[in-house]
Amino acid sequence: MHFPVESHLCPVGEDQREALLQAPGFGQVFTDHMATIRYSKNQGWYDAKIGPRQALSLDPAALVFHYAQEIYEGMKAYRLDGGGTGLFRPEANARRFRRSAARLAMPPLPEEMFIESVRALVRVDNAWIPSTQGFALYLRPFMIATESVLGVRASADYLYCVVASPVGPYFRRGAAAVTLWVSDNFTRAALGGTGDAKCGGNYAASLAAQAEAIREQCDQVIFLDAVERRWIEELGGMNVFFVFADGSIQTPPLSGTILAGITRESLITLARDMGLVAREEPYAIDQWQDDAKSGRLLESFACGTAAVVAPIGEVKGRKHRFIIGDGGPGPITERLKSALTDIQLGRAPDTHSWLDRLA
Ligand code: PLP
Ligand code: COI
């Protein structure tokens, strides 16, 4: 699919852009353009283009406003060491977007169209990719139901859109490790629900728990399973890993209630490449506390596109309170993070063909 570019009459000036790229925060600054594709039941996908980034005009009865028929993705474009631009495993995001669409009864966007929309936007807004270490251009493809009707049913019309935002670290600068709040009253997902789809509703439902975490002076929530309130699942927007004194690592399995993180899968692969044992097995919150206290567990970290790899220093809850290791980043966490970011930045051999280099 071809994405014609509509010229922008007043893009941000070079000096202003360079100033914005110095300290963009996370998701606060946006590039000049956006990619869009429309869908209707009769026409299929049509009107693909790159145009100036602008407000959307929608009827107040559009289904997305009422029944939250919406999905999204999160990925990054990097300025590569030695020149050029790279996307990390865009086909994995395209596949997950298609799976999310199926769960929300939305039409599947063909994977090549997804990838091409992202590539086309990154090419046009290439000057917006920051060059500072640890910064990247965050890409947010999403799809919304646009048909105006109040009956509860799948929309006949959709808008797919990609916006781009130069970003720095997700967590405030200088934080050596994040503190987690164990939510024992809120859960994120139950089997048969939408926990393994990337739909906006999951995040709306996590906000009250996140507000509680902030009140408790924690950075993020760690959710437990909805049935036994015992098994560790994931954070609101990140997967979680545990590192043991015997050098093995573990992460909760993809049992249908957690998001299949692309960072998660990449880290499992990289850990195995390093000769580490990596398990996908359930881990109980009480066990985590016991193991952290006994020294059987030495490190833990959260991971995702936005957060990359974020060491977990402390865990608090109504029934739990423990420090992980010495409360700061551990050596295996650091090794895995470097292995991942070295591939993302084109510094290390791309043995799994994960990097999509844009011409
Ligand atoms: N879990 C949730 C709920 C998320 O929103 C994300 C972020 O996308 C992740 C995990 C990590 O996924 P990925 O590594 O593909 O970014
Ligand atoms: C991402 O990592 O891309 C996400 O969507 C998670 C969110 C916390 C920004």
Domains (range + CATH), the chain: 14-167 (3.30.470.10), 178-344 (3.20.10.10)
> Helix or strand or coil: residue 75?
strand
Q: Which residue, among 176, 175, 183, 177, has the nearest Cα to 320 in the 3D structure? A: 183
Q: What integer pLDDT is reported at residue 309 of this predicted model?
A: 97
Q: Establish how many alpha carbons lie within 13 A of residue 214's alpha carbon, considering only the half-sphere containing its beta carbon.
A: 6
In angstroms, how far is CA 353 from the centroid of its own chain? 20
Helix axes 90-103, 262-273, angle to 10 degrees: 140
CA 161 to ligand 2 centroid distance, Å: 17
Q: Establish how many alpha carbons lie within 13 A of residue 133's alpha carbon, considering only the half-sphere containing its beta carbon.
A: 4
Q: Which two tokens stand for residue 250?
A: 């573990």
- Locate the ligand 1 atom nearest the alpha carbon of residue 266 and give its number: 14
Which helix (DSSP H) or strand (DSSP E) does residue 166 occupy? strand 157-167
Any idea which ligand is nearest the CA of 303? 1
- Ligand 2 pocket, residues with Cβ under 6 angstroms: 74, 237, 304-306
For strands 249-251 and 278-280, give the pairing.
Answer: parallel
CA angle 75/88/33 to nearest 5° reads: 45
- Locate the ligand 2 atom nearest the alpha carbon of residue 263 and give its number: 2
Asked if residues 124 and 217 have their Cβ atoms less than 8 Å apart, the reply is no
d(CA 74, CA 138): 7
- Locate the ligand 2 atom nearest the alpha carbon of residue 140 and give its number: 3
CA 260 to ligand 1 centroid distance, Å: 7
Cβ-based neighbour number of residue 276 at 10 Å: 17
d(CA 61, CA 202): 22
Alpha carbon nearest to ligand 2 atom 7, residue: 237
**Mean pLDDT, 10 residues at a time, the chain of 359 residues:** 90 97 97 98 97 97 98 98 96 98 98 98 97 96 98 98 97 84 96 98 98 97 98 97 98 97 98 98 98 98 97 98 97 98 97 95
Alpha carbon nearest to ligand 1 atom 3, residue: 237
Q: What integer pLDDT is reported at residue 166 of this predicted model?
A: 98
Asked if residues 284 and 151 have their Cβ atoms less than 8 Å apart, the reply is no
Alpha carbon nearest to ligand 2 atom 8, residue: 237
Which residue among 241, 263, 301, 303 has the greatest number of ligand 1 atoms within 8 angstroms of its CB, and so is best to mutate? 263
| Whole-prediction pTM | 0.97
CA 58 to ligand 2 centroid distance, Å: 25
In angstroms, how far is CA 49 from the centroid of its own chain? 24
Any idea which ligand is nearest the CA of 170? 2
